[in-house]
Amino acid sequence: MKRSNLSFTFLFAVLLFSCSNQPDIKAPVAEKIPHELFNKRTDNYFWMRLSDEQKNASIPDEQTAKVLDYLNKENTYSKEILKNTEGLQKILYDEITGRIKKDDESVPYFENGFYYYNKYSAEKEYPVYYRRRGTLTAPEEILLDVNKLAAGKSYCSVNGLSVSRDNKILTYGVDYVSRRRYTLTFLDIQSGSLLTDKIENTTGQSVWAADNKTVFYVTKDNETLRSNKIFRHSLGTPAEKDLLVYNEADETFSVNLSETKSRKYILINSTQTLASEIRYVEASKPDAEFKVFEPRAKNHEYNIDHVGNEFYIRTNLDSASNFKLMKTAEGKTEKTNWKEVIPHRSDVLLEGFELFDNWLVVQERAGGLNNLCIINRKDGNKHDMEFGEEVYTAGNKCQSKFKY
C-alpha cells in the first residue's frame, strides 16, 4: 500500500471517531469476588474461569450461565459503542483480507528422505500438510487435512506436527476449545487411521526418540496452564502409565522440548525471563536419565545446538549482554570447559546461529539491521551475506526437523 493511502485511511478513521456522537450507554461492570491463588495472589475475577467440561456441557450450570450473561453484556456494549464505525470496519476488513493471498503454499524443505510443505486454498480456512518422497516431482502425499478435523467444530487449532524417524507415524496436537490444551494424537500415515494412543492436556509438542516407539511430550499445570512437566510415552500403552521424566518446580520457569540439529540429542529447555537451563539425553537412549548441561544461575541465559562431536552455546555469561558464542566437546558441558568461538561485542547483538556440517551461520544485529555471517567451521574464514540494499530485513530459519 502506498504511504498516501495509509495516511488517508488513518486520517479518515480519526475524523470519523472524533466527529461521531457516542451513544449514551453504560459499560457493564464485572463483579469482584476475591479468590486467593498460589503465592498469596488474589484474583477478583476467578469466578469467570470455566472448565473444559463446563464449556462443552449441553446445559450450562449456574456459574456458566453467570459468565455467559456477563460476556453477552460486554458484546452488546461493544456493538453499540462501535455501531457508528461499522462502515469503516468493513472498509478496513475488506482491504486487509484483499491483500491476503488466498491460494498459498509454504516453501518445501527436505528432511529424512521427504520434502515437506503445506497449502492453503481459497475456499478453505485451514491448511493441508503434504510431503513428497525424494524429489519434488514425486507423487504428492497428504499427511493431514486440518479442514476435515475442523468440520462441524466452532474452533480448531492444530500444532506440533512431528513424524517418527522411520517416517511412518505422525503426531500432532489438536484443540477444539481454544484453551491451548492440546490432545496429542497419533496417525498411521500409510493407512490414514488413528492409533489408539491419545494424550490429553499437552502443549501439542512432541519429540520422537530414535527407536520410533518412544515419544516425549509436555503437559500443562491445570491451574495456571504453565508448561511444567515432561513425560515419556511408549506406543501402545495407556497415557496413565507414562513416566514423568522432569517436573519444573519453579513457578517462574516454563519448559519445552527440542532436538539438536544433529538429531543425536533430545533437549528439555527450562526458561524464564532472565535465566535458562537445559537438560539432554541421547535420542538412541530414551530410557536414560536427562543430564543438566549447565546448572541455572541468576541472569544467565543460554541455548545450545550440536554437530559432529561438539556442542555450540549462545550465552550471556560473564556480563556478555549482547551474547557470545562458545563451544565444548561432548561429555564436557560445564562452563569451565567452554571455548570462545565469537566474543562478546558491545555494538553487535548475537541473535542466533545455525549449524551445518561445514558451516556456521550466525544471525547478528548491528546498526539496526540484521546480518547473516557465514563462517567456515574448518578454517574459520567468514563473510557477510550481501543484500544489495541500504535498508532490508533478513534472518536464518532453518528446519532442523519436521515441525510446524
Q: Phi/psi of residue 353, each to 5°?
A: -155, 155
Q: Are 277 and 268 in contact (CB under 8 A)?
A: no
Question: Alpha-carbon distance 305 to 162, whole Å?
Answer: 19
Question: pLDDT tens, position by position, for the chain (404 residues)?
Answer: 334 454 455 445 544 554 555 667 899 999 999 998 877 889 999 999 887 677 777 788 999 999 999 999 999 999 999 999 999 999 999 999 889 888 899 999 999 999 999 999 988 999 999 999 999 999 999 999 999 999 999 999 999 999 999 999 999 999 998 888 999 999 999 999 999 999 999 999 999 999 999 999 999 998 788 999 999 999 999 999 999 999 999 999 999 999 999 999 999 999 999 999 999 999 999 999 999 999 999 999 999 999 999 999 999 999 999 999 999 999 999 999 999 999 999 999 999 999 999 999 999 999 888 999 999 999 999 999 998 888 888 887 654 444 44
Instruction: Provide the 8-state DSSP code for 336.
Output: G
Query: What residues have CB less than 8 Å from 94, skipping those under 6 apart?
Result: none
Single-letter amino acid, residue 321? S
Q: Phi/psi of residue 10, each to 5°?
A: -65, -45
DSSP code per residue over 169-198 = EEEEEEESSSSS-EEEEEEETTT-PEEEEE
Cα distances from 310 to residues 112, 263, 305, in angstroms, run 22, 13, 9
In 209-345, the DSSP E strands lie at 214-220, 227-234, 243-247, 254-259, 265-271, 276-282, 291-292, 302-307, 310-315, 324-329, 339-342
Residue 303 has which C-alpha cell?
541455548
Q: Whole-prediction pTM value?
A: 0.83
Q: What angle do CA 375, 381, 385 make, to 5 degrees?
A: 50
Question: Alpha-carbon distance 119 to 354, whole Å?
Answer: 26
Query: What residues have CB less than 8 Å from 126, skipping those under 6 apart?
Result: 120, 145, 146, 147, 149, 150, 156, 158
Q: Identify any residues that bridge with 282 across adjacent strands, giving them in sequence order.
A: 265
> Which of helix, strand or coil describes residue 240?
helix
Exposure class string for 234-257: b at 16+ Cβ within 10 A, else e? beeeebeebeebbebeeeebbbeb
* Terminal C-alpha separation, the chain: 30
